[in-house]
Amino acid sequence: MKLTGREKTELFLEGVVTVILLLLLNLSIIVLINETLSTNPGLQDGIFIIKRSIVIGPNHYQIWSWENIFIAAMFVFDAAVVYWRLIRRYHQIELRHIINELHYIANGHLDHRIDFHLSGNTQTVVESINALVDSVIESIEEERAIEHSKDELITNVSHDLRTPLTSILGYLGLIQDKQYHSEEDLLKYTEIAYLKSKQMKSLVDNLFEYTKVQQTGTQLSYNRIDVDQMLEQLVASFELEANKHDLVVTADDNDSQLFIEADAEKLGRVFNNLIANAIKYGVGGKHIYLKATKKNDEEAVIEVINDGPKIPKESLNQIFERFYRVEGSRNKDTGGAGLGLAIAQSIVQLHGGYIDVTSDDEFTTFAIHIPITRNDQITNPQSHQLISKQGEKK
């Protein structure tokens, strides 16, 4: 810490005043003692006898000059008092510096930190203040990010609701004004209005699901799940829909039985979203494979693989963001709002796992890594988990 000229003068004056006061005190003590001794010859004799009887060391040195000892003791005492007063004043100055810095930060200079180094505990105080300011800034930024993300959510939802709603109102308006030429037209308009209403309902459902799984403290109701059986059920329930799109869904038979502890309903939602996507976006492909493997004693990996068009590399690390849709998907009549993968990811994370995606010219694979037993946690070994492993063979 750098002292200002004024503070140096303050310290100097403190020293001078203390020395003067101590000298006066010493002088008055000496005068008082002399006065007492001169008026009291008995006391003088007593001190003389004591002095003669005190011998120091093997050579029997005697103390003849008690005044010197007394003066030396007084000097040591004075030096200690001066030191103590100066240190006390210095600490006051340090404190004043810290308070000034705090005022400066409190006045809105939140990027400012106390950068001087002090001794002992005061330095700990400085470090704690800096850490406190850091954590305040962090929470302000988090708050801002949450606020921003809420605004974004509202904007996206309003946009995605307004588009089909405008269509519905338009077609219903045509019907109400009898602006149709045939019954065929009428049926076409009502069908479009119906489809758009379904699209709106699906968005509202997804949104409801998304906010539900995003809430802190979302509870899972765990069941013991036979993974092979679950995959067979999924194949059965998606068979018809997949066939309509010329796709065949198959589940890989696992030699050893694989059981996991998970929320069956929520996990079902994850696979519904992934398989529905594989059908929706796997245009031109022929297969959807469901595959389950046990990675080690703690982790099960369940994959949804399809051989449709490749997801562009630049989209892979954004694909799980809410409302994100790969360029072009929004315009296609696939009806999604970009929430399906965000919901799937949140559910898997609630279970302590993670999802990753890889996509190349041959296959697109969504792999769910999930702990086999509840309360376990799996960490993604790759920090950049969503990078495509181009050209990897399945």
The nearest distance, CB 386 to ligand ADP, in angstroms, is 12
**Does position 319 bind ligand ADP by CB under 6 A?**
yes
Applying CB under 6 A, what is the total number of residues that bind ligand ADP? 21
326: amino acid identity, one letter: V
* Whole-angstrom distance, CA of residue 10 vs CA of residue 25: 22
259: amino acid identity, one letter: F
**Does position 337 bind ligand ADP by CB under 6 A?**
yes
Interaction pattern, residues 348-367, with ligand ADP; x per rule: CB under 6 A: ----------------x---
**Does position 336 bind ligand ADP by CB under 6 A?**
yes
Closest CA to 238 of 199, 210, 277: 277
Q: With contacts defined by CB under 6 A, name the span among 3-11, 149-157, 254-262, 324-332 that binds ligand ADP.
A: 324-332
Closest CA to 304 of 350, 334, 268: 268
Looking from the CA of 257 toward its CB, the CA atoms found within 13 Å total: 5
Q: Which residues, 73 to 132, sit near ligand ADP by CB under 6 A? A: none
**Does position 373 bind ligand ADP by CB under 6 A?**
no
Instruction: List strand residue ranges (DSSP E) for the chain, in order.
Output: 55-56, 61-62, 223-226, 248-251, 259-262, 287-294, 299-306, 354-359, 364-371
**Does position 214 bind ligand ADP by CB under 6 A?**
no
Is the CB of residue 385 less than 8 Å from the CB of residue 345? Answer: no
Indicate the DSSP class of residue 388. -
Q: Which of 164, 338, 353, 371 binds ligand ADP (CB under 6 A)?
A: 338
**Judged by CB, which is closer to ligand ADP: 355, or 370?**
355
**Judged by CB, which is closer to ligand ADP: 284, or 381?**
284
**Judged by CB, which is closer to ligand ADP: 277, or 346?**
277
**Does position 325 bind ligand ADP by CB under 6 A?**
yes
C-alpha 124 chain-centroid distance:
25
Is the CB of residue 249 less than 8 Å from the CB of residue 274? Answer: no
DSSP annotation string for 78-101: HHHHHHHHHHHHHHHHHHHHHHHH
Return the structure tokens found at 296: 């080690």
Q: Which of 1, 129, 264, 326 binds ligand ADP (CB under 6 A)?
A: 326
**Judged by CB, which is closer to ligand ADP: 288, or 292?**
288
**Does position 291 bind ligand ADP by CB under 6 A?**
no
**Does position 306 bind ligand ADP by CB under 6 A?**
yes
Looking from the CA of 153 toward its CB, the CA atoms found within 13 Å total: 17
The nearest distance, CB 146 to ligand ADP, in angstroms, is 21
Is the CB of residue 298 less than 8 Å from the CB of residue 264? Answer: no
Q: Which of 163, 329, 373, 385 binds ligand ADP (CB under 6 A)?
A: 329
DSSP annotation string for 132-192: HHHHHHHHHHHHHHHHHHHHHHHHHHHHHHHHHHHHHHHHHHHHHTT--SSHHHHHHHHHH
The nearest distance, CB 383 to ligand ADP, in angstroms, is 22
Interaction pattern, residues 222-261, with ligand ADP; x per rule: CB under 6 A: ----------------------------------------
The nearest distance, CB 303 to ligand ADP, in angstroms, is 12
Binding site for ligand ADP (CB under 6 A): 273, 277-278, 281-282, 306, 308, 311, 319, 324-326, 329, 336-342, 364
